[in-house]
Amino acid sequence: MSSEAPPLLLDAMLGRLARWLRLMGYDAAFLADTPDLLIVRKARSESRLVLTRDHALSRHRGIEALFIEGEDIDEQIAQVVEAIGPAGDPPSPRCGYCNQPLIPVDRDAVGDRVPPYVLRTESEFRVCEKCRRVYWPGTHWESVEERIDTIENQGQD
Ligand SMILES: [Zn+2]
């Protein structure tokens, strides 16, 4: 199959998409309120594929860019997955807020930071080492997978 997806750079209109893509395992940098010139510079220096809803930016010389067509988040996710493939096999989820790869940890390490019922019912936990948020499949990356399944099934109808 194809190699890993390229690192991404999303512009200001795509913050919500960036969070979803991170949970799906994509390296998705996000720049809010940033002039196009600086977006272009970062994309070049870090070899990132730019995702944008700005036609002019998507056609900028010297960068790889994907113009995001839909406004609907499901459509946007579907377009990205179709264009560049899955983030990895299996994908490693990243923090939706920091874009940091999540680190698997023992239940004991998060006992004081998750609700008791989650501690009882979930067995797999990951943490973001930057913001210290705790993630688990039931409410986080697994729901992303369900979402993708739904999108793919809809596409086949
Ligand atoms: Zn984080």
Q: Which pLDDT tens digit goes with each residue over 37-79?
A: 999 999 999 999 999 999 999 999 999 999 999 999 989 999 9
Q: Provide the pairing of β-strand 8-10 with 125-127.
A: unpaired
Quote the ligand 1 centre to 133 CA distance (angstroms): 6
155, pLDDT greater than 50: no
151 Cα–ligand 1 center, Å: 26
Ordered by where they begin, the domains of the chain are: 8-84 (3.40.50), 103-156 (no CATH)
Distance 61 CA to ligand 1 centre (A): 33
Peptide bond between residue 90 and the one before it cis (omega within 30 degrees of 0) = yes
Ligand 1 centroid to Cα of residue 135, in Å, is 10
Residue 123's pLDDT band (cuts 50, 70, 90)? confident
CA 102 to ligand 1 center in whole angstroms: 8
**Ligand 1 centroid – CA 12 distance (Å):** 19
CB atoms within 10 A of CB 153: 9
Q: What is the DSSP string of 110-133?
A: HTTTS-HHHHHH---EEE-TTT--
Cα(100) to ligand 1 centroid in Å equals 6
110 CB contacts (<8 Å, ≥6 apart)? Answer: 119, 125, 127, 134
How far, in Å, is the centroid of ligand 1 from the Cα of 134?
A: 9
Q: Does position 138 have pLDDT exceeding 80, yes or no?
A: no
pLDDT the model gives residue 151: 55
The answer to whether the CB of 74 falls within 8 A of the CB of 68 is: no
Q: Is the pLDDT of residue 88 over 60?
A: yes
Distance 101 CA to ligand 1 centre (A): 9
Query: What is the DSSP track for the chain?
Result: ---PPPPEEE-GGGHHHHHHHHHTT--EEE-SS--HHHHHHHHHHTTPEEEES-HHHHT-TTS-EEE---SSHHHHHHHHHHHH--S-SS---B-TTT-PBPEEE-HHHHTTTS-HHHHHH---EEE-TTT--EE-TTTTHHHHHHHHHHHHHHHH-
**Distance from the CA of 62 to the center of ligand 1, in angstroms?**
31
- How far does residue 128's CA lie from ligand 1's centre (Å)? 5
